[in-house]
Amino acid sequence: MATTNLSQYDKTNIPDARHMRIGIVVSEWNSEITDNLLKGCIETLSECGATLDNLQVINVPGSFELPTGAQFLLDHTKVEGVICLGSVIRGETPHFDFVCQACAQGVNHVALKYAKPVIFGVLTDNHIEQSRARSGGALGNKGIEAAITAVKMIALQKQLRDSW
């Protein structure tokens, strides 16, 4: 289990996101958690220079639907990358394992299919206290980390494309 805040970053090492078009897909399930992830994500993207006009936020019912939402954004908008934000909390049945596995594989599949950054900002915790700690609590905010990852990956793709 992480014991330190992993959401701290050096702003001088983050590329300028001023002209980046970024999609964000947010799960409505566990909204106490996902609302905090979204808040951290948008605040961080703004600090990196992204404008609200260049962000497209959509909601899906649960984390299982995040890959489909990402695919919808890539099919129907001009986003350069997508951030998937969700929260799956372990229960008493194997449902947790199925949802987490399908979500992770789906996000990866969409990224490879479209050759664009699709970021896995999904908490997979054993209990709600862990989720709270990772969505703005003592262990930071996974939404911040997902935003930084998206900006870095979009910048990397642009750099490689423009270098040839």
- Rounded Cα distance, 102 and 107, in Å: 8
Tens-place pLDDT, residues 47-67: 999 999 999 999 999 999 999
Task: Find the catalytic residue in 76, 95, 109, 127.
Answer: 95
Which tokens go with 22?
Answer: 């970024």
Task: Please give the angle made by the CA atoms of 19, 22 and 25, to the nearest 5 degrees.
Answer: 165
Which tokens is 81 given?
């990358």
Question: Is the entire prediction scored with pTM above 0.75?
Answer: yes
Active site residue 95: yes
Q: For residue 93, what pLDDT is reported?
A: 87
Q: CB-based contacts of 155: which residues, under 8 Å, 6+ apart?
A: 15, 20
**What are the structural domains of the chain?**
20-162 (3.40.50.960)
Average pLDDT value over all residues in the chain: 93
User: Given its phi and psi angles, is residue 136 left (phi above 0), alpha (psi -120 to 50 degrees) or beta?
Assistant: left
Q: Which pLDDT band holds residue 3 (cuts at 50, 70, 90)? A: low
